[in-house]
A and B are shown apart, each in its own frame.
Chain A
């Protein structure tokens, strides 16, 4: 049952990352995927808390990168952020 919930959570996060165009929604989807990975790790027997700290670090860095992208492009729409393409 827990595995099922982690899988559904992963799929919801993946849906956000693949479909949504707003950077914040994509970021929240990645955080949901991190939650599901955490549940998977606990199911696999990893019961130390260090994975939670690393996930939090990754989330904080992603937030900072999104904030910098917003400062530079003044938009959260990924279709309008074109300078990184090519």
Chain B
């Protein structure tokens, strides 16, 4: 646990202090996976698994949305390659975590304990997520009218 916490602190500092976008993203992915591991050790299996699923989505959207540059400064291939490499690294980390977690007993809710699951909570969270994705797509879309102006 102490090792995980120390690694998490180092990853968080790298996220903040790194001047390279790719290194920041890679450190953010590492921090997310370490948070998932800490959650797992705290007997919270479901948040840990969801955290593992959320990390690559956030990283991908960050890389997709923020990696573009103004026309006067076209993106260099040297910056794209580390981003792709970091995504591959994240995928490999996720696959390895999946096989690691499979080897341990998982405390997921059993069907007999379904009444304990707050279904409305999940529906609300899913609705918020869908609304956020739709809103994000709408926000990131370039408006034709704005271009004409």
Residues of A within 8 A of B (CB): 1-2, 4-5, 8-9, 12-13, 15-16, 20, 24-25, 27-29, 31-32, 35, 38-39, 42-43, 47-61, 63-68, 70-71, 74
Q: Does more than half of chain B's interface fall in helix, strand or loop, or is it mixed? A: helix
Residues of B within 8 A of A (CB): 1-2, 5, 8-9, 12-13, 15-16, 21, 24, 28, 31-32, 35, 38-39, 42-44, 46-47, 49-51, 54, 57-58, 61-62, 65-66, 70, 117-118, 121-122, 124-126, 128-129, 131-133, 135-137, 139-140, 142
Contacts of A43 in B (CB 8 A): 42
Most interface-central of A31, A52, A59 (chain B CB within 10 A): A52
Q: How far is the CB of B5 from chain A (nearest CB, A)?
A: 4
Q: Does more than half of chain A's interface fall in helix, strand or loop, or is it mixed? A: helix
- Is the Cβ of A35 less than 8 Å from the Cβ of B66? no
Counting residue pairs across A and B whose Cβ atoms lie within 8 Å, the total is 143
Contacts of B8 in A (CB 8 A): 5, 9
- Is the Cβ of A12 less than 8 Å from the Cβ of B12? yes
